[in-house]
Amino acid sequence: MEQPYREVFWNISYSWLFYILAAVASLVFFYGIYKRAAFWMSGWSERRNGGVDLKRLTKKVLFTSGIFSDDIMGGTTHFLIMWGFIVLFLGTVLSTIDHWIFHFLEGKVYIVYSVSLDIAGAALITGIILAYVRRYIVKRKNMVTIVKDHVVLLLLLFIAITGFFMEGLRLHANPVPWSESRVAYRVVDAIFHGSRAHLLFEHRLWWWIHSISSLFLVAYLPFSKFIHIFAAPTNLTLDSMNYTSFLTLDEREKVTTDFSKHQLVMFDACTRCNRCQVVCPSSNAREPLSPRMMIEEVGNYARGASGIPFVSSKRDADQHDKATASLGDTIWYCTTCNNCYEVCPVGINTSDIIREVRAARIESGGEVPVNVQEMLESVYKFKNPWQGSKGKRMDWAEGLDVPVFSKGADSKRCLFVGCTPAYDTRLQSVARNVVSLLEGADYDFAVLGKEEACCSEFVREVGEDGLFTELAYQNIDLFERYGITEIVAVCPHGFHTLRNEYGLMEDSAKRLDVVHITEVLERLIADGRIKPTREVPLVATYHDPCFLGRRNGIYDAPRNILRAIPGVKLVEMPRSREKSFCCGGGGGRMWVESNADEKIAEIRVAEAVETGAEVVVTACPFCFSNLDDAVKTGGYEDKIKVMDVSELLAESVLEPGSS
């Protein structure tokens, strides 16, 4: 019996023409890749901030774990299209090797090979159909389709269908024992009929149509949306290698390009899948920010500004500069919650891009919200955003015997209180409770007192790098002067900045051990130094602050504290931990007014109320303030109240009135 096999150019004349077209397509492809790589390399170089995260790299790149997160249909669609395309491409490569180098596609190997290609083709067609169902029937939230989306999808669909036609016609015109088991044979059997001469003609026709379409895709790929085939794994690899776009002020003044290499790769990695839009708190509140559109707008500007042929768009470059790469006030609505980054299957950090545009806007003297300007002026004058005088920074500690470094306190550990707990009268009790709990546990610490300056996290997030640098160095100098080696931060924003960004500026700061107060309280409870004994009978739900949870991975410590309090029943909101919904206070949003009918925090409070909880607990002063205001403005005062973790713990540990 004849062994199963396939002759590459069976029934095809002028094979030399195919090779000429293939050579042209390959040259165009490699030229496009070269130009795209030149675009990526035109950015400024980032530096590494740690080793390679091999676990993240393996999960994201090799197993594409992120594509199914929060969007099973979208993940399935992408999986079928991606692997259908990859297997068909590998099939072409193997066929070329078989034809030119050594022959191995015969017998059982060929049967497995051919069936695999049939499955891949069917998967590709199914994935494309699902893509259109998702876009036009399911109508994934705020999903926008543009012409180039259709070009790529329909071209792939056409190639897959013509591939079945071509192969099925070959099997019909040249029947062999294994023909009827093939999907391609059955497809053609239902469509094409006629004499063998007619089938041979049809086969040649569809062979050339399929081949030319495939070669066109090869040539078009570097200039199309499908560039993400290369950009996405590149971006995920850079992401897992912990490159940081952080620049000190001196470094930024030496940079001659608008974006880093990594950021330029991000622009091309975006597939416009819309996941960022779905989870964005600003978008959920129907504010004008669209993370997807932001990446597209700024990416178009970056490509235009590069001036690289076949990558740049002169129209986009001529219209704007970096400061106006995204027009209007849209950039100020971002809370930098990083949820878009968390759900992005290709690791695009939209808030990082937005921060770059904000920095350019401030540097150029462009339009900045009035409240943001006033906040920056207050930080510059008073070293805090609340226009509180330096002399009142320790008012929160009135009546407490708090050790202060400038008054001779001998400690290597600093309790970094932060501006909001120090000046906001509603939150001063948080600082008082923390101090009382730590002192009751005989925990060694001291505070900077009136010398403490703003950590300036939100100053950096809104793009005022000069002021951020000034305040950061001032705090670093204080830490060095008092020999501080450990910092306990009350506010997650201060915790994030001191832990992750000060260390990028100063080698000495890297030696600081920075922890959040909930980590300390959890440890003291576990060690028996803090003993929650008084019953607090209530149902509580915990709101994960973005800068404590998603930004720094601290989810369990505050929950373990709540579980240790007798009488407290902890219930979870549908969106919790890494999927937590932002309160709307990060990224300088505390100073940006919104005209939306429903505030971000009101959406979150409504979610908390739905759990049946009597109290929504958090561990961030910004979250506390925003959620507390939302309880009032949303009309939930008779249903739920807001508390800090330390307040609830204090009720179980401290005597009433002791703090």
Q: 19-63 pLDDT, tens per residue? A: 999 999 999 999 999 999 999 999 988 877 766 677 776 766 665
Q: Kindly list the distances between the CA atom of residue 468 and the CA atoms of 33, 407, 474, 635, in Å, as whole numbers in the listed order.
A: 39, 27, 10, 38
Task: With respect to residue 145, please indicate whether it lies within any of the assigned structural domains.
Answer: yes
**Mean pLDDT over residues 322-348, rounded?**
89
**Mean pLDDT over residues 616-628, rounded?**
96
| Kind plus residue range of the DSSP H or E element containing 304 | helix 291-306
State residue 313's pLDDT score. Answer: 63
Domain boundary, last residue among 494, 524, 554: 524
Q: Examine the domain organization and report whether 211 and 270 are in the same domain.
A: no
Task: With respect to residue 75, please indicate whether it lies within any of the assigned structural domains.
Answer: yes
- The model's confidence at residue 319, banded by pLDDT at 50, 70 and 90, is low
Q: Examine the domain organization and report whether 513 and 556 are in the same domain.
A: no
Question: Per the structure block, which two tokens stand in for 353?
Answer: 């891009």
- The model's confidence at residue 457, banded by pLDDT at 50, 70 and 90, is very high
Separation of alpha carbons 185 and 308, rounded Å: 47
More confident position, 67 or 132 = 132
Separation of alpha carbons 394 and 474, rounded Å: 19
Sheet of 486-489: strands edge to edge? 413-416, 486-489, 513-516
Q: What is the CATH number of the domain that holds 187?
A: 1.20.950
Cβ atoms of 81 and 127 within 8 Å: the answer is: yes
Q: What is the CATH number of the domain that holds 297?
A: 1.10.1060.10
Cβ atoms of 323 and 358 within 8 Å: the answer is: no
Separation of alpha carbons 95 and 93, rounded Å: 5
Sheet of 568-571: strands edge to edge? 568-571, 538-542, 615-618, 641-644
Domain boundary, last residue among 193, 210, 232: 232
Task: With respect to residue 658, please indicate whether it lies within any of the assigned structural domains.
Answer: no
Q: Examine the domain organization and report whether 93 and 117 are in the same domain.
A: yes
- Total domains, the chain: 4
Query: What's the domain range around 227?
Result: 15-232
- The model's confidence at residue 5, banded by pLDDT at 50, 70 and 90, is low
Task: With respect to residue 373, please indicate whether it lies within any of the assigned structural domains.
Answer: no
Mean pLDDT of the chain: 86
Phi and psi at residue 177, to the nearest 5°: -55, -30
Q: Examine the domain organization and report whether 176 and 92 are in the same domain.
A: yes
Task: With respect to residue 9, please indicate whether it lies within any of the assigned structural domains.
Answer: no
- The model's confidence at residue 533, banded by pLDDT at 50, 70 and 90, is very high
Q: Kindly list the distances between the CA atom of residue 77 and the CA atoms of 83, 119, 276, 413, 615, in Å, as whole numbers in the listed order.
A: 10, 15, 17, 52, 41
Q: Examine the domain organization and report whether 140 and 183 are in the same domain.
A: yes
Q: Examine the domain organization and report whether 539 and 638 are in the same domain.
A: yes
More confident position, 300 or 105 = 300
Comparing CA positions, the residue from 607, 626, 645, 390 lying closest to residue 516 is 645
State residue 195's pLDDT score. Answer: 73
State residue 140's pLDDT score. Answer: 59
Separation of alpha carbons 284 and 270, rounded Å: 21
Q: Examine the domain organization and report whether 100 and 226 are in the same domain.
A: yes
Please state which of the ranges 86-90, 373-377, 397-401 shows the lowest mean pLDDT: 86-90
* Burial call 200-231: b when 16+ CB within 10 Å, e when fewer: bebbbebbbebbebbbebbbbbbbbbbbbbbb
More confident position, 474 or 244 = 474
- The model's confidence at residue 101, banded by pLDDT at 50, 70 and 90, is confident
Say if residue 656's pLDDT is above 80. no
Q: For residue range 262-317, list pLDDT tens digits in order.
A: 999 999 999 888 888 889 999 999 999 999 999 999 998 999 888 887 777 656 55
Q: Examine the domain organization and report whether 88 and 123 are in the same domain.
A: yes
Say if residue 335's pLDDT is above 90. yes
Q: Examine the domain organization and report whether 325 and 223 are in the same domain.
A: no
More confident position, 182 or 44 = 44
State residue 406's pLDDT score. Answer: 92
Separation of alpha carbons 296 and 276, rounded Å: 13
Comparing CA positions, the residue from 39, 465, 30 lying closest to residue 261 is 39
Task: With respect to residue 209, please indicate whether it lies within any of the assigned structural domains.
Answer: yes
Q: For residue range 474-519, list pLDDT tens digits in order.
A: 999 999 999 999 999 999 999 999 999 887 775 555 568 999 999 9
**What percent of the chain has a predicted confidence (pLDDT) above 90?**
53
Separation of alpha carbons 480 and 498, rounded Å: 14
State residue 1's pLDDT score. Answer: 40
Q: Examine the domain organization and report whether 215 and 253 are in the same domain.
A: no
Domain boundary, last residue among 500, 524, 548: 524
Say if residue 253's pLDDT is above 80. no
Half-sphere exposure of 478 (CA within 13 A, CB side): 27
Q: For residue range 536-581, list pLDDT tens digits in order.
A: 999 999 999 999 999 999 999 999 999 999 999 999 999 999 999 9
Task: With respect to residue 599, please indicate whether it lies within any of the assigned structural domains.
Answer: yes
Separation of alpha carbons 591 and 372, rounded Å: 5
Please state which of the ranges 311-325, 379-393, 403-417 shows the lowest mean pLDDT: 311-325
Q: What is the CATH number of the domain that holds 606?
A: 3.40.50.10700
Q: Examine the domain organization and report whether 413 and 503 are in the same domain.
A: yes
Say if residue 591's pLDDT is above 60. yes
Q: Examine the domain organization and report whether 37 and 124 are in the same domain.
A: yes
Task: With respect to residue 425, please indicate whether it lies within any of the assigned structural domains.
Answer: yes
More confident position, 224 or 530 = 530
Interhelix angle for 147-173 vs 107-133, to 10°? 150
